[in-house]
């Protein structure tokens, strides 16, 4: 049986704040995520399209140096971008491949970009990123408890209102 929710954490735990997404997965309590499957990867690949099948929602989590702190949570759709033929893909490109492979749209998908600052090899997580991680973890625990894309959209709208 496939869990209805998939959480993809993308990042490299050896590169400072790039460890944000993998660390988030490791901090989540398994009992609060009964309905979620957790997958940690360095980067998304075309093969990951099969992981999306049978889900009601997918959450991609990644560190990002360009978003505002503590994070940016958004809904994403399929997009044929330049990463489509690359060795590493964007979440939107993976959704595009899903449509090409299965002939239907991918499950409702969201992207959580956690603000990172330092991505040097061998560096620990920065103090600012550690604070952002804690706020993001609380959001993800709430999303998993709801386990419903419509509730996720409500949280998204509430987050947009709070940030304006």
**Cα 120 to Cα 91: distance, rounded to the nearest angstrom:** 23
**Cα 74 to Cα 163: distance, rounded to the nearest angstrom:** 13
Overall number of domains in the chain: 1
User: How do beta strands 108-115 and 57-64 pair?
Assistant: parallel
Query: Which of 57, 84, 39, 64 has its CA nearest to residue 133?
Result: 64
Per-residue pLDDT of the chain (164 residues; tens, 9 = 90+): 888 999 999 999 999 999 999 999 998 866 565 578 999 999 998 899 999 999 999 999 999 999 999 999 999 999 887 655 555 789 999 999 999 999 999 999 999 999 999 999 999 999 999 999 999 999 998 888 887 888 888 888 876 645 54
Q: What is the CATH number of the domain that holds 43?
A: 3.40.50.1450
Domain span at residue 93?
A: 5-163
**Cα 59 to Cα 38: distance, rounded to the nearest angstrom:** 10
DSSP state of 18: G
pTM, entire model: 0.90
């Amino acid at each position: 049986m496939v869990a209805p929710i998939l959480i993809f954490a993308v990042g490299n735990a050896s590169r400072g704040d790039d460890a944000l997404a993998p660390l988030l997965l490791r901090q989540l309590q398994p009992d609060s995520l009964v309905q979620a499957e957790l997958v940690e990867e360095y980067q998304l690949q075309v093969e990951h399209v099969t992981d999306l099948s049978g889900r009601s929602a997918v959450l991609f989590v990644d560190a990002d140096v360009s978003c505002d702190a503590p994070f940016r949570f958004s809904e994403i759709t399929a997009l044929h971008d330049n990463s489509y033929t690359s060795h590493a893909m964007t979440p939107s490109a993976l959704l595009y491949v899903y449509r090409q492979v299965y002939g239907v749209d991918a499950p409702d998908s969201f992207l959580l970009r956690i603000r990172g600052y330092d991505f040097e090899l061998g560096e620990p997580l920065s103090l600012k990123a550690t604070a952002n991680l804690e706020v993001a973890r609380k959001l993800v625990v709430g999303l998993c408890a709801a386990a419903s894309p419509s509730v996720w959209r409500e949280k998204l709208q509430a987050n947009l209102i709070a940030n304006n």
